[in-house]
Amino acid sequence: MPRSTARSARTDRRTAGPAAGTSRTARTTRVTAVAAALALGLGALALPAGVAAAAPHPAASCVTLAPGPDAKALCDAISALPDDEATAAQVRVGGNGAWLGTAGVRDLDSGAPALRHARFRAGSTSKIVTASMVLQLAAEGRVDLDRPVQRYLPGLFPPAFAPMTVRQLLNHTSGLKPGASFGDTTEEMWEHRFDTLTPQEVVAGSIAAGPGTTPGTVQRYSNIHYVVLGLMIEEVTGDTFAHQARVRVFRPLGMRDSYFPVNGDPRIHGPHNRGYERIGGRLTDVTEWNMTDRFAAGDLISSTADLETLLVSLFRGELVPRPYLDQMFEVPEVKDHDTGEDATIGLGLERFVNPAGLEIWGKTGSRPGYHTVIAATRDLSRTVVYSVNSTDARGDGNAIAQRFAFPAFNR
């Protein structure tokens, strides 16, 4: 596995200790948010009531490490934090030039400046890690992408479920319906934030709902595909998913801030900025949360430096062998289940084209209190990774996304 080369992707990196169901509306919102991230301009937002007194705006930290990015636009994008949409942000821009930005507060009670190298819940950017692990297993001859997943998880799916290939799980065309959950909104899930819903229970909920669309005929973005893939990784390797992620991805790449929690641990270990969401009309601290149900689909805790390393190493062919890496950028020729538009998702990565015709590949992630984007041009001429402590991370991320990603692709 690659080790030293990926570390060169890090800039201004601290030394860290050891890491300890999608609806049509949600799908449309997700696509809109990322499209806006890559194509729209900036917006001015108001400071939430009560925040000004407890946490006056700390000065944003904006550092140009190498000329290239639009430093002024990037710094302007974060200079007003905290505001009504977010309490903090960490932004890393790389490629032809490099820029770092941090703004906002570590927590609303103290008003202390946000940490530059904070860890956070990275949400569905987890899928890039999971997809990379599956492709490694394919390169090792232990998994065939075009064999049914039923071959690797015998007895999990009843006969009523048509054979669905590993590739179809990776590109969200398996036809599975979303799995069991604690609710569709943050408020519904809040009451269960310390409860455990195991991956097996999530999959059982999908199975109980019965077969969905015919495998391979339509793309339907849902966590269920990657929850099944996580179980497959465990079955094939005879190891836990969290440990396999550590030995296959995090340790070889030197990603010292990244880990998947175990045993329902609701905490973010290591330095982090607190996450807040509006629950019952009030900003509520949602930092501690058991995300076991997201598993291989969205339970990753990471940092912007680590995710930049992941992105650069992956695109350089240092994590997944080149023939399999090329397949990550292959989008099936089917329609999206929710929008009716052409599919946009490959194997763990999603394709976007901005108004200037620039093709960008990446992934969004959102968990209560945290909104993440990881994106790049395929030639790595521009990369952007950010974590925003959004006050509505699972809602309409349009206002957040357009502020922090657009400046990165200005030039």
Positions marked catalytic: 124
Assess contact for 224 and 178: CB atoms under 8 A.
yes
Task: Provide the residue type at 309 as one letter.
Answer: T
Residues 6+ apart with CB under 8 A from 349: 128, 131, 328, 329, 361, 362, 363
Tell me the DSSP string of 167-214: HHHHTT-S-PPP---S-SSHHHHHTTTT----HHHHHHHHHHT---SP
Assess contact for 181 and 205: CB atoms under 8 A.
yes
SS3 147: coil
Q: State the DSSP H helix or E strand holding residue 402, giving kind and residue range, or none if neither.
A: helix 398-404
Cα dist. 264→63, 156, 290 in Å? 37, 23, 5
Backbone angles phi, psi at 65, to 5 degrees: -85, -30
